[in-house]
Amino acid sequence: MTEIKRFAVIGHPIAHSLSPRIHAFFSKQRRIPLEYSAIDATPEQFEAALEAFTAGGGDGVNITLPHKVRAAELCNELTERARRCGAANTLIRQDHGWLGDNTDGLGLVRDLTDRHGQDLRGRKVLLIGAGGAARGVAPALLDAGIKSLYIVNRTPSRTDALADALGEPARVHPRNFEDLRRLGGFDLVINATSAAREAALPFLPSSLIAPRGDAVDLSYGEVAIPFLAWARAAGGDVVIDGLGMLVEQAAEAFLRWHGVRPDTTAVYEELRASHALLTTAD
């Protein structure tokens, strides 16, 4: 009998997560039997939850808010992209412990370029947030050829830390929220915070979106609505939620775990149909 491998996503909150549904779809599509569960763990509970899953024979883990930075710290080894990010969203079981990877950035770039036809080269980009989600996508945006990346966050020290980690002072510019009115318009504005989840979306001037500028929220579902509504009202040309990124980063994790890449189109279309409220101008 073939042993069924065990996988999980760990986050807080986690009940809303679509990851079990996505990986079940991939499992059926590629005929790879697996068990995939969702584990709710607060920051105080995270390390114990990961240890328990490891002790129980877990083979791979997806990490979501708010644990991505801590997950990277707990890994025995990191891939180059996870090291650059300082955050891990995909853990691969090895004989000596966990290998941490980060598939968020690749997932975002794939969704923007392949699914939505975006050309990121030469674009002026504003990244709102400096936590695990922001860290996951920033290096991939730079690799995709953007012209400049401005970063703002409620905690200036985290903004500076992310800018320093990226190591490209000619293209990466940490700023304060107070500077937003003076920065002009951006070709792409990305919300990488969980502020809307906490009912605390910061004030954003409509001038942030340049003519024909676009906007992306890395979240999906109801928590993405406030930012997407602001972006539409501010004249955003293409306004996108994080559903496609979620599917694409999951496909990359599936590839790391099983050695085969699933087709993302069918599962994206199925999930988009159930999230029609957030259908964008793609």
Measured CA to CA, the distance from residue 50 to residue 226 in angstroms comes to 33
Cβ pair 127, 149 in contact under 8 A: yes
Q: What is the DSSP letter of 263?
A: P
Q: What would the DSSP string read from start to end of 157-205?
A: HHHHHHHHHHT-TTTEEEE-GGGGGGS--EEEEEE---TGGGT-PPP--
End-to-end CA distance of the chain: 46
Cβ pair 223, 197 in contact under 8 A: yes
Measured CA to CA, the distance from residue 43 to residue 60 in angstroms comes to 19
Would you call the peptide bond into 262 cis, given omega within 30 degrees of 0 as the criterion?
no
Q: Of these residues, 28, 68, 124, 147, which one is catalytic?
A: 68
Burial tier of 50 (Cβ tally within 10 Å: 0-12, 13-18, 19+): buried
CA 137 to mean position of chain CA atoms? 7
Query: Quick check: is 68 catalytic?
Result: yes
Measured CA to CA, the distance from residue 222 to residue 259 in angstroms comes to 34
Catalytic residue numbers, as ranges: 68
